[in-house]
Structure 1
Amino acid sequence: MTQTREAVPLAAEPGAVRRRLPHLAWFVAAVTFVTIIGAAAFRSLPGLLIDPLHEEFGWSRGTIGGAVSVNLALYGLTAPFAAALMDRFGIRRVVAAALTVIAVGSGLTVWMTAAWQLMLCWGLLVGLGSGSMALSFAATVTNRWFTERRGLVSGILTAASASGQLIFLPVLSRLVESHGWRPAAVTVALAALAVVPLVWLLLRDHPADTGQMPYGATEFVPKPAPVRGAARRAVTVLWSAARTGPFWLLAGTFAICGASTNGLVQTHFVPAAHDHGLPVTTAASLLAVIGVFDVVGTIASGWFTDRFDSRRLLAVYYALRGVSLLFLPMLLAPSVRPPMVFFIVFYGLDWVATVPPTLALCRERFGDDSAIVFGWVLASHQVGAALVAYLGGVARDVFGSYDMVWYASGALCSVAALMALVIRRRPAGTATVAVPA
């Protein structure tokens, strides 16, 4: 009898230990975070390539900006199809293949001698690979593994890209300045390849693969069958969503978001600061500091999204960003002064803070198809970024400065703030838009 009574607490002890461990969803989110950091190297390099490629090959900034714009456009246009492919083949296979394509495209650039090769390697290959690693990847992981804290998790995963920028920008800028742009391109390729084993060994496609429920769920969610016809499904979801007003408002605001961040600041801030006499390494370090505060701002935005109206959050974010861009031309100088430091901090907090509330509105309006819908919204983000990446280079060639581009982007941000306020919320109890597989 004594042995029987003692066996009960001893047998229950492992279960108690398991209950105290974090939910597996947090480990999957951690692997996703590290994966996005490792892939962020390719996001850090375009702005550092403009001047070296212009000096070595004599290509105009408009031509180089055109290759960057192809990259940015494909980054967005690939995202909805990648989200559908993840439903067909699984997250792990799609992400591992995307990282390999990025490594191949970046590695081949070291042998290029013509502008069309830049378009092919950096524009097409890296664009396709990076598009499959876009924010729809984070959205798919969040939707599958979490039913609670989705805003916070989406903010953390979005911040991973900024963390990667923080890590790689100073390193790549020093490589470009000391050894040229080719070692920097090789570093990007190696960083992408280094993450492939991590993804293949540790990432899991669905909670059901491990016999667990999503975080915060009250019942077991079976793994859905693979969805065939990924391309057809992505287009069908777009066709359904495009018949609603909120989709176009979300796409329009996110296009302006991309134009004012990836297309403008990430691509043209370093050469614009260099035009005013600021060393390239210093300008790249300032861009990396934006990444520091971007982490804080994006995680905080995710926390706010779980508690406040996403439309009002977007309006505030876009309005503040527009004001900061209007002041930037007056702050550029040969040395870093306190007003520039204030801009870097202020802009960094707002950099991609728009992602968690935009993703939350997509989830609210479009339900199970929200990851694919968000992929199409992200496509508009990258189209806006691509246009400004190209037009910014053209403006610099024509006018000799970037001032007009800063002012135009600031004005566009004010338009985005107004658009965010008129997005209609889905009435409680109504069905979300869903497209049968």
Structure 2
Amino acid sequence: MARSLHILAIRPLDSHACAREDRHVTQTIQEERKRTAPRVHPAWWVAGVSFLVLIGAAGFRATPGVLIDPLHEEFGWSRGSISFAVSVNLLLYGLTAPFATALMERYGIRRIVSGALLLISAGGGLTVFMTSQWQLVLCWGVLVGLGAGSMALAFAATISGRWFVARRGLVTGVLTAGGAAGNLVFLPLVALLAEGPGWRFASLTVAAAALAVVPLVLWLLRDRPEDVGLTPYGAGEDYVTPPPPPPGAARRALRALREASRTPVFWLLAGTFAICGASTNGLIGTHFVPGAHDHGMAVPVAASLLAVIGVFDLVGTVFSGWLTDRHDARRLLAVYYGLRGISLLFLPLLLEESVHPPMLLFVVFYGLDWVATVPPTIALCREHFGEDAGVVFGWVLASHQLGAAVVSFVAGMIRDTTGSYDLAWTSSGALCVMAALMVMAIRRARVTAVG
């Protein structure tokens, strides 16, 4: 009995000693991390390479809009049939995104992104040998669509979610703006090449640009901060490394869709983002250049205006990310959609042979709003869907591209039928006003809905 009491008496002392030892070990590890941590957190290098990847993906998505008229003139294909290939591109871009996000979780970002860049390069390069419309659909539609979808905006959400705790909204905005920078870099160049050496030379140039990014991805892009012995940028001392993703990437993507689709929030986000895609990638991104050319504007000039939209999109999206960290995402989206709708309603009155001040005002105004919707939409996905937010946003992005695909084809048919894009501009403007009303129906999340 005395021996038992003695053991019970010293156990609390042993427990306290172990706790002190654990605290000492933890403090030592933290001090060692601080001494060995690089001055520039690797998260910023990963974000930089991701930005370049998104530039390349955006350049390929934007190129078909510049090639509609050259392909129409050489092969005699209708604008509607050419727009169909663009629609397939946009649709696959959206449908691939949720599965690509899940595959990145399972197999790593570097493998998926490198493979996607090779697919895009193959699609652009093989275009120069085509002689039939189905080959255009295969190259620009299927190959480029699958590759670009694997580097979609969900990729930006994955990078910002894994590598950043602080400045997450800002980084999301910067990565999203990579699409704007892609337009800025590629569109004027592709337009000049298409007008000069020809559209085949333009396609090969863009294919080579995508191929050139692959070595940078293999060299600098890392899947997680834990791979280099660090925590995400801005993580506190209480940060816990997330568990490895479960097997079955496709099953996870479908499970996330099934659970998210039971909530009205998902359908409101999907519906408004479908309108977002319809009014940007599907309409302006695909048909602004040929629409302006219909009014006598030179193709390189129209492409340069679209590139200027990309410049202001870069500013607007980064600023939107900053605002998303500080304000209600729903109210931001309502403002963005409402302003975009108003600008599209005025567009038919602004298109002329030459560039004039009201058109420049539209370019600036529309550019600031182009992809400003992405940071608050991602924020709402995180707010309502928790750990599955990246995959759920992939499905929301699929609706974005579905809307873009439908309007890309329909706008081409409207042009073939009526001889003008006016009905396409005004209809999309009305849809944006409706999206502004829809987004305010989203309620604030009190607890995580899914995940």
1:301 to 292, 298, 320: 320
Structure 2 vs 1, CA of residues 338 and 224 (structure 1 numbering), >3 Å: closer, same or farther?
Answer: same
Match in the other structure for 1:379? 398
2:374 to 344, 349, 355: 355
Match in the other structure for 2:224? 206
The structure number with the bigger radius of gyration is: 2
Distance in 2 of aligned mates of 1:223 and 1:411: 43
Structure 2 vs 1, CA of residues 244 and 226 (structure 1 numbering), >3 Å: closer, same or farther?
Answer: closer
- Matched ranges for 1:395-434 at <5 A: 395-427=414-446, 430-434=447-451
Contact 1:173–1:284 (Cα < 8 Å) also in 2: yes
Gap regions ≥5 residues in structure 1: 1-12
Contact 2:183–2:307 (Cα < 8 Å) also in 1: yes
Deviation, 1:432, is: 3.6
2:365 is the counterpart of 1:346: yes
Q: What SS does structure 1 have at the residue aligned with 2:55?
A: helix
- Matched ranges for 1:11-90 at <5 A: 21-90=39-108
Worse-matched range after superposition: 112-121 or 20-29:
20-29
Q: What SS does structure 2 have at the residue aligned with 1:49?
A: helix
Deviation, 1:204, is: 0.5
Distance in 2 of aligned mates of 1:72 and 1:337: 31
Match in the other structure for 1:247? 266
Distance in 2 of aligned mates of 1:20 and 1:124: 42
TM-score after normalising by structure 2: 0.91
Identity %: 66
Distance in 1 of aligned mates of 2:126 and 2:246: 34
Structure 2 vs 1, CA of residues 318 and 14 (structure 1 numbering), >3 Å: closer, same or farther?
Answer: same
2:139 is the counterpart of 1:116: no
Deviation, 1:44, is: 2.2
Distance in 2 of aligned mates of 1:94 and 1:267: 27
- Matched ranges for 1:133-148 at <5 A: 133-148=151-166
Match in the other structure for 1:10? none
Contact 2:225–2:231 (Cα < 8 Å) also in 1: yes
Q: Amino acid of the residue matched to residue 47 of structure 1?
A: G
Contact 1:257–1:381 (Cα < 8 Å) also in 2: yes
Match in the other structure for 1:318? 337
2:301 is the counterpart of 1:282: yes
Q: What SS does structure 1 have at the residue aligned with 2:262?
A: coil
Q: Deviations over 1:388-414 (max 9, x none)?
A: 100000000000000000010000000
TM-score after normalising by structure 1: 0.94
1:185 to 188, 192, 203: 203
Distance in 2 of aligned mates of 1:105 and 1:228: 30
Q: Amino acid of the residue matched to residue 210 of structure 1?
A: V
Q: What SS does structure 1 have at the residue aligned with 2:196?
A: helix
Contact 1:47–1:270 (Cα < 8 Å) also in 2: yes
2:392 is the counterpart of 1:366: no
Distance in 2 of aligned mates of 1:289 and 1:43: 17
What do you get for the CA RMSD once the two structures are aligned? 1.5
Q: What SS does structure 2 have at the residue aligned with 1:205?
A: coil
Gap regions ≥5 residues in structure 2: 1-30
Distance in 1 of aligned mates of 2:52 and 2:36: 24
Contact 2:225–2:232 (Cα < 8 Å) also in 1: yes
Contact 1:39–1:191 (Cα < 8 Å) also in 2: no
Q: Deviations over 1:305-351 (max 9, x none)?
A: 00000000000000000000000000000100000000000000000
Distance in 1 of aligned mates of 2:274 and 2:317: 18
2:181 is the counterpart of 1:163: yes
Contact 1:208–1:223 (Cα < 8 Å) also in 2: no
1:235 to 234, 251, 254: 254
